[in-house]
């Protein structure tokens, strides 16, 4: 038997999650049965969308259950295989994060190619779900054309940082927001034309100054005031890729909606929400493009790593105060 | 010389327009010069979008100017022609409404075919700009499929009433709102499945009861609470055709935005504002389809007619309190 520590949902968060909403438990993982594989996780992902699954409500994924282990993306190594195509030492990804070890049917695992120039955990970030989210949302919904202006909020996050760099690759002027000067410096080092620290206030004024002719594409990770500002500075026919609204995830009262929503009509704006699963078919093209851009040095990334499964709750909670630059990960 | 009374913008409205914002003036219209045509208007249109042009701000059409004659759709008869292709008695449409007579270059006029089964003024309504707005917004943006549920606000208005009937033609379940029981009765007589009087309160409850499985398409003429309700009951991947937000046109304070805007992400909603001019190329197909549906009795319409150019301001103001069933017109 293999011992595995895991994180369970102890209580549903009200407002911003706290450590008390989670508990660590130790379980025993048995030997893999026929067609199964024993995996020891090496990295697990914490992502803002997981907050939504902590509410008890119907959504595009079912809610987490009290007392049960949480779920999320993870990568690990095969320890023991009872399934064709998997051998000890193989790198695999699964949706069985928030735990140290697991036994799963082969169909629930994906074997990953080890890349010479990228660490394995990139498959949880720039080469994984956040990377595909950025790629698909920007290119399929945003449809940026050379010379246009792309505005991205949460620009130093796992998704936003890829959006910003891919927009530069596509020949756009890029305006990105982040919550610290250090994050803004990183964005500028990646070629972002205008990096704005939204904590300095007057977001509308700062964005207007950066994009005096307006924006053509808005990639939204933040919602709230950022969305209202984007509507205000949008040019006619601007495209909004609504990926997330982290500023509202912990709201206990209804949010204030964008007060200038009426401009959607007069400016013929196109506002489109999406979940990355809609674009799963783009994954092969995404991986080809992204590996090429990484090899060329045109896409780089940052990681913020916590150590030990017991630190997963604090890593997750840190997402809501901007505790991460780039991808937030837990090393197991 | 021909005498012509016309309506000028006297002052910019603050909040709901009043009669004091307008003035009647008499001008003299000369004989048509080379390439010009003298037209006596028979009907002029008043439309909600004109309120936007009364603000002094940049938009998709320039603002009306104080002291100058207003503009808008009109149909009239050629009185005297100095241009090839136009003869006295011809029916023409122009953008020179809010006046009794005009001289214009031939290029600014469109000769209309007189139809046996429709009155001339239908070219300002079901066969004109409002009809094309409904047709293009519903079919191109809403993309309704047979068996889906279409929700339309302002369902008894010039645009909404066409949306509701075309959605029925396309095999959809239709939920429409209007502001009087008489308007709701008319909608039911046209085959609308669920006609809701929004003045009865609990709009969300009424719409939920009418569409317990949610809506696939929302055609918005109203904005405000209607938009918030539509987001709340939208099914995943629902399409929103944002045609207008009449509930906010007279706001003197910023509107309250939809407080549930975050659902745009989780439900992958597609919200798209539009101006009918974007779809001008659909006009031939629209006219063919609409004339066919009228001939088949599948599309009918109501008109609310005021008499005399001096009544145009009150006709226009009446739009904001639901004073019209169907197309609001002024007979000249």
Q: CB distance B243–A265 less than 8 Å?
A: yes
Which phi-psi region, left, alpha or beta, contains residue B171 (left: φ > 0; alpha: ψ -120 to 50)? left
Across B237-245, average pLDDT: 97
- A255 pLDDT tier (thresholds 50, 70, 90): confident
Across A40-69, average pLDDT: 92
Q: CB distance A223–B273 less than 8 Å?
A: no
Of the candidates A52, A236, A272, the beta carbon closest to that of B60 is on A236
User: Which residues from chain A sit within 8 angstroms of residue B261, using beta carbons?
Assistant: 223, 227, 245, 255, 257-258, 261
At B97-136, the pLDDT tens digits run 999 999 999 999 999 988 878 999 999 999 999 999 999 9
Give the per-residue pLDDT at B253: 83
At A139-196, the pLDDT tens digits run 999 999 999 999 999 999 999 999 999 999 999 999 999 999 999 999 999 999 999 9
Of the candidates A254, A268, A278, the beta carbon closest to that of B274 is on A268
Distance from CA of A158 to the nearest CA of B (A): 18
Query: Which residue of A264, A269, A276, A280 is the best one to mutate when testing the B interface, meaning the one whose CB has the most B CBs within 10 A?
Result: A264
Across B52-71, average pLDDT: 90
Q: Under 8 Å CB-to-CB from B93, ≥6 apart: which residues?
A: B73, B74, B75, B109, B110, B112, B123, B124, B128
Across A11-22, average pLDDT: 96
User: Which residues from chain B sit within 8 angstroms of residue A269, using beta carbons?
Assistant: 271-273
- The answer to whether A254 contacts chain B (CB < 8 Å) is yes
Across B250-262, average pLDDT: 89
State the CATH architecture for B129-277: 3-Layer(aba) Sandwich (3.40)
The count of other CB atoms within 10 Å of the CB of residue B106 is 18
- The answer to whether B265 contacts chain A (CB < 8 Å) is yes
Task: Confirm whether A2-125+302-331 and A129-277 share one CATH topology.
Answer: no
Rounded CA-CA distance A307/A331 in Å is 5
Tell whether the model's pLDDT for residue B137 goes beyond 80. yes
Tell whether the model's pLDDT for residue B58 goes beyond 80. no
Q: CB distance A60–B272 less than 8 Å?
A: no
Rounded CA-CA distance B168/A327 in Å is 49
Residues in chain B, total: 332
Long-range contacts of B194-198 (CB under 8 A, 24+ apart): B195/B155, B198/B153, B198/B226
Query: In this structure, are residues A230 and A215 in contact, taking their beta carbons and an 8 Å threshold?
Result: yes
Q: Which candidate, B158, B50, B31, places its Cα nearest to that of B102?
A: B31
Give the per-residue pLDDT at A207: 98
- Please report which helix (H) or strand (E) contains residue B93, including its range: strand B91-94
B219, with CB counted inside 10 A (0-12, 13-18, 19+), is: buried
Find how far residue B148's CA is from the centre of its chain: 25
Give the per-residue pLDDT at A58: 77
Give the per-residue pLDDT at A252: 85
User: Which residues from chain A sit within 8 angstroms of residue B275, using beta carbons?
Assistant: 265-266, 268
Task: Name the residue of chain A whose CA is nearest to B60's CA.
Answer: A266
Across A52-73, average pLDDT: 91
Across B186-204, average pLDDT: 97
- Say how many CB pairs under 8 Å bridge A and B: 112
Of the candidates B243, B259, B274, the beta carbon closest to that of A257 is on B259
Rounded CA-CA distance A271/B208 in Å is 24
- The answer to whether B31 contacts chain A (CB < 8 Å) is no
- B/e letters for A217-241, b = 16+ CB within 10 Å, e = fewer, are bbbbbbbbebbbbbbbbbbbebbbb
Tell whether the model's pLDDT for residue A60 goes beyond 80. no
**3 state SS of B297:** coil
Tokens representing residue A197 in the block = 């620290």
Give the per-residue pLDDT at B293: 97
Tell whether the model's pLDDT for residue A59 goes beyond 80. no
Tokens representing residue B206 in the block = 């009424």
- B256 pLDDT tier (thresholds 50, 70, 90): confident
Across B2-19, average pLDDT: 96
Tokens representing residue B67 in the block = 């002291």
Helices B160-169 and B283-295: angle between axes, nearest 10 degrees: 80
Give the per-residue pLDDT at A115: 80
User: Which residues from chain B sit within 8 angstroms of residue A204, using beta carbons?
Assistant: none
Across B19-35, average pLDDT: 96
Domain positions in chain A: 2-125+302-331, 129-277
Query: In this structure, are residues A178 and A145 in contact, taking their beta carbons and an 8 Å threshold?
Result: no
Rounded CA-CA distance A194/A222 in Å is 18
Give the per-residue pLDDT at B1: 81
- B/e letters for A9-24, b = 16+ CB within 10 Å, e = fewer, are beeebeeebeeebbee
Give the per-residue pLDDT at A206: 98
Across A264-285, average pLDDT: 97
Tokens representing residue A311 in the block = 């630190």
Distance from CA of B250 to the nearest CA of A (A): 12
Tell whether the model's pLDDT for residue B276 goes beyond 90. yes
Distance from CA of B101 to the nearest CA of A (A): 30
Query: Which residue of B273, B274, B275, B280 is the best one to mutate when testing the A interface, meaning the one whose CB has the most A CBs within 10 A?
Result: B273
**3 state SS of B195:** strand
Class of B2-125+302-331 per CATH?
alpha beta
Query: In this structure, are residues A27 and A2 in contact, taking their beta carbons and an 8 Å threshold?
Result: no
**Hey, which residues does A101 pair with through a beta bridge?**
A40
Tell whether the model's pLDDT for residue A274 goes beyond 80. yes
Q: Which candidate, B3, B45, B331, B324, places its Cα nearest to that of B160?
A: B324
- The answer to whether A214 contacts chain B (CB < 8 Å) is no
A12-16, A148-152, A246-250: the lowest-pLDDT one: A246-250
Q: Give φ, ψ of B61 to 5 degrees.
A: -130, 150
Tell whether the model's pLDDT for residue B59 goes beyond 80. no
- B57 pLDDT tier (thresholds 50, 70, 90): confident
């Amino acid at each position: 038997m293999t011992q595995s520590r895991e994180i369970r949902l102890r209580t549903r968060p009200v407002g911003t999650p706290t450590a008390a909403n989670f508990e660590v438990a130790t379980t025993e993982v048995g030997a893999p049965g026929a067609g199964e594989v024993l995996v020891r996780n090496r990295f697990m992902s914490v992502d803002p969308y997981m907050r939504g699954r902590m509410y008890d409500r119907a959504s595009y994924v079912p809610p987490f259950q009290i007392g049960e282990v949480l779920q999320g993306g993870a990568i690990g190594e095969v320890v023991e295989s009872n399934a064709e195509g998997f051998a000890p030492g193989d790198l695999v990804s699964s949706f069985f994060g928030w735990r140290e070890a697991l036994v799963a049917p082969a169909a629930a695992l994906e074997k990953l190619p080890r890349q010479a120039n990228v660490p394995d955990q990139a498959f949880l970030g720039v080469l994984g779900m956040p990377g595909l989210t950025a790629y698909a949302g920007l290119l399929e919904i945003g449809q940026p054309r050379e010379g246009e202006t792309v505005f991205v909020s949460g620009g130093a996050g796992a998704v936003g940082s890829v959006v910003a760099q891919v927009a530069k690759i596509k020949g756009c002027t890029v305006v990105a927001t982040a919550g610290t000067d250090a994050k803004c410096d990183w964005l500028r080092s990646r070629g972002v034309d205008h990096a704005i620290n939204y904590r300095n206030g007057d977001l509308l004024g700062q964005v207007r100054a950066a994009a005096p002719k307006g924006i053509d594409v808005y990639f939204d990770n933040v919602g709230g005031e950022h969305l209202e500002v984007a509507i205000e500075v949008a040019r006619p026919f601007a495209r909004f890729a609504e990926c997330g609204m982290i500023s509202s995830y912990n709201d206990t009262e209804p949010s204030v909606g964008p007060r200038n929503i009426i401009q959607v009509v007069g400016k013929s704006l196109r506002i489109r929400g999406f979940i990355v699963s809609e674009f799963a078919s783009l994954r092969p093209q995404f991986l080809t493009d992204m590996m090429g851009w990484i090899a060329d040095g045109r896409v780089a990334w940052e990681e913020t790593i916590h150590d030990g499964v017991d630190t997963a709750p604090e890593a997750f909670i840190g997402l809501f105060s901007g505790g991460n630059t780039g991808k937030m990960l837990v090393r197991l």
